Amino acid sequence: MNLYVSNLSFHTTDEELRKLFAEYGNVTSAKVITDRETGRSRGFGFVEMESEKDGNEAMKKLDQKDIEGKLLSVSIAREKPTRNNNRRW
């Protein structure tokens, strides 16, 4: 299950995000999204949980939880829209 996590502290690392969610099950991946130019966190990320059960439990327990003075928002991630690179203008 792929989860979208927003309102992260700008100091949160991939490993910290992984550890936070690992309390609720096996984490396949955890990634804080960074700005391409500055490398600074953009305040959101994605966590992939091994099972839907673990993902739902993590979402239930961590949504609106205060982490480093910020209320996390955790939801099911939407699929990234596909880009049509064959478009001709």
Domain over 2-76 is classified CATH 3.30.930.10? no
Q: pLDDT tens digit string along 4-54?
A: 999 999 999 999 999 999 999 999 999 999 999 999 999 999 999 999 999
For residue 88, what pLDDT band results from cuts at 50, 70 and 90?
low
The Cα–Cα gap between 7 and 72 comes to: 5
- pTM (two decimals): 0.86
Higher per-residue pLDDT: 87 or 6 = 6
Q: pLDDT tens digit string along 48-79?
A: 999 999 999 999 999 999 998 999 999 999 98
